[in-house]
Amino acid sequence: MFQKRCEGRRIKLEIIKLNVGFTDTDLKKCNLLFMGGAQDKQQQIAAFDLMKKKKILREIIENGTPGLYVCGAYQFLGEYYKDADGTVIKGLGILDLYTENPGVNFSRLIGNCSVKMADGSTIVGFENHGGRTFLGKQVKPLGKIMKGFGNNGRDGTEGAVYKNSFGTYLHGPILPKNPVFADNLIKIALEKKYGVSPAINLSPLDDSLEKKARNAIANRLGVKL
C-alpha cells in the first residue's frame, strides 16, 4: 500500500526487507518502519533476533522515525507478554504497555472494528488476538473503539501512539481501507527525511476502490464514516 501510493505520486521508494540477521546499518536506512505479527514459532525467531537490535530500534523510535506496528509487533514493543499458561515473555520495553493472555477459558477478540481517532476521523479494520493490552502513562491510545474490542475489550481503547510510532490490532486492511491514515505515515516520513514540518502536501489519488471497501465495513458495523 505504501509502495502503491508513493508510486502514484512519483515518489521514489526503496523497500528494504529486514529479515532475520539484518544489521543496524540496514535499520538506519529506513525512513518508515512496518512490522507485523506471525505464528508463535516464527514470532519467537524474530523476537530473539530483534532483542539484539533493541538499542538501535529504541534510538530510531525515540528520534521520531515513523512506524506502524501491528498485532504481535505491537505487543513485542511493550514490557512483556504473559502467555495463556502464565509464561512471561520479555518484550523490548520501548513502549509503556504490557499484554496478557487470560487463558483458554476466554475468547479471542475477533472481528471487524471501527476506531474514532483523536482528530475525529474514523478508521476501520479487522482484529484477531488473544492477548489483552494495557497502556501506561507514557503512551496514548490510537483511538477510541466504536465497534469491536480494541486493546483489551474493557477500557474502550485501541492501539497506542508514541511520538511517530503507531501500534494497533487492526491487521493488514488498516492501510488499504484507510488511505488517509496511510498517507499520514508517508507524510511524516517525508517531513522527517527532508527536515520540513509540516510542509509536505501529497497530491490526491483515486481512492474510489478504497472508499468502497471502507463503506462496506462501515455499513456492516452500522457506523458512519
Catalytic residue numbers read 71, 171
Helix, strand, coil percentages (3-state) for the chain, rounded to 5, are 30, 25, 45
Angle between helices 40-51 and 54-62 (to 10 degrees): 80
Residue 121, helix vs strand vs coil = coil
Chain position carrying cell 495463556: 84
Asked if residues 178 and 217 have their Cβ atoms less than 8 Å apart, the reply is: no
Q: Which residue, among 31, 15, 18, has the nearest Cα to 186 in the 3D structure?
A: 31
